[in-house]
Structure 1
Amino acid sequence: MTAHSPGTPGSVERGESGTTDVVLRAGGASWLTVPRSLGSAASTALGTGLLGGALVLPVAVIVLFSGAGWAAVGVVALWMVSVAVGMGFAGALVAACFRVYRIRFSAAGDPPGVCLVRGLGSGPWRPTEEPDRLRLEQEIEEPYAGDPLPATDFLTLRLIRDDSDVCRAVLLPDTDARQLLTALEEALGPAVLLELHVKRTTRRAPRRLPGPRNRGRLGTSGIGISGAGGYGCGSGCSGGGGG
């Protein structure tokens, strides 16, 4: 795992006014979010358009059995696909503009406060009477003996207030969880409670099907969990326990 430079997801960035940003996603806080998100919105619109097209066939059968002709089927199909494309495009663009890109904490020495930086700008400052919690949840799936596939590692950062998520984001796969936790401790101090929860599982090996005809053939197996389950607090935790 490698450390990320400021401004990339999974990094801690100091602002000119002394604020501290925890970066969840690249970009944000600018109208440039709109043109930058057009490509992903178009991809989403294509997917929803295909879904709408898949629903045309059963609807077409119903329309034909009702006595309407193929012209009516064409109108219904065009309407369904257009609505699906429009909803997919608009929904993806709105989500990009209003999702949380950064968590911003007030400067050292100020009353503790936090605000959320979204796609189009920063939200209002919220004084924290009780410390918020930043939780890093690391899920590591290790290979079974003889597994040719490497281990997988997912790191999620959650801002928790009153035992409820304020926001959450999955960070880049090569983010070093303990290095990020150390950077957060140095930047935020006691104003924010920090937690690191690590969950390790082992990928279940595929089992062979019984019987002479199936000898040597591999059966289908889902992803299983072995070893200790649940989240355990790592040694780098400070502050309160998990919620």
Structure 2
Amino acid sequence: MPIADLARIALVESITEPHEGDPLPATRTLMVVLAIRRDDVVEPVCRHLKDADGQQMKEALDTLLSEVGIPVQLQTQRTRRPKPPPSGSAHVGAIVNIIGTSGGPGSGSATGSGGL
């Protein structure tokens, strides 16, 4: 691909940080979007990179492409991994109670002992 066909580069970095007490490290994904000119239309081409540093990538691309006037944009999105629900939480207990009481005597089910 000729460099003249490259309109711009967008880097979208997604960082998922651990919750408090989470033993797992943060994870990173970098999506590189090349905007390519073809017949007066700009088409995106995407690639996903795992564990790549968006700021380092932007600085390297700026160094390479600034002389030819190709802009490089970086957008960083941060989220926090949710805490898992505590074991024995109330909603699990309620589900167990509902399941445990269904189908018993007087419940109207065909398997209950209806006294016949």
Of structures 1 and 2, the larger Rg is shown by 2
Q: State the match for 2:53 in structure 1.
A: 176
Residues 202 and 104 of structure 1: is their aligned pair in 2 closer, same or farther, counting only changes over 3 Å? Answer: farther
Work out the CA distance in 1 between the residues paired with 2:27 and 2:9. 23
Partner residue of 1:157 out of 32, 39, 44? 32
Q: State the match for 2:65 in structure 1.
A: 188
Give the SS at the match of 2:90: coil
Residues 143 and 163 of structure 1: is their aligned pair in 2 closer, same or farther, counting only changes over 3 Å? Answer: farther
Is 1:207 aligned to 2:85, yes or no? yes
Work out the CA distance in 2 between the residues paired with 1:184 and 1:141. 24
Listed one character per residue, the Cα deviations across residues 182-214 of structure 1 (whole Å, up to 9, x for unaligned) are: 121111115211100100000111123216958
User: Larger helix proportion, structure 1 or 2?
Assistant: 1
Residues 164 and 186 of structure 1: is their aligned pair in 2 closer, same or farther, counting only changes over 3 Å? Answer: same
Is 1:137 aligned to 2:15, yes or no? no
Q: State the match for 2:108 in structure 1.
A: none
Work out the CA distance in 2 between the residues paired with 1:104 and 1:171. 23
Structure 1 stretches of at least 4 aligned residues deviating more than 3 Å after TM superposition: 161-164, 211-214
Give the SS at the match of 1:171: strand
Residues 172 and 203 of structure 1: is their aligned pair in 2 closer, same or farther, counting only changes over 3 Å? Answer: closer
Work out the CA distance in 2 between the residues paired with 1:138 and 1:211. 36
- How many residues are aligned here? 87
Equivalent pairs: percent with the same residue? 29
Give the SS at the match of 1:182: helix
Q: How far 1:171 moved relative to its partner?
A: 2.0
- Structure 2 length as normaliser, TM-score? 0.62
User: Larger strand proportion, structure 1 or 2?
Assistant: 2
Matched letter for residue 136 of structure 1:
L
- 1:14-25 map, 5 Å: none
Q: How far 1:164 moved relative to its partner?
A: 4.4
Structure ranking higher on relative contact order (CA contacts 8 Å, 6+ apart): 2
Calculate the aligned-residue CA RMSD, in Å: 2.5
Gaps of 5+ in 1: 1-102, 106-112, 115-127, 215-243
- Structure 1 length as normaliser, TM-score? 0.32
Give the SS at the match of 1:144: coil
Work out the CA distance in 1 between the residues paired with 2:32 and 2:21. 32
Give the SS at the match of 1:207: coil
Give the SS at the match of 2:21: coil
Q: State the match for 2:113 in structure 1.
A: none
Listed one character per residue, the Cα deviations across residues 21-44 of structure 1 (whole Å, up to 9, x for unaligned) are: xxxxxxxxxxxxxxxxxxxxxxxx
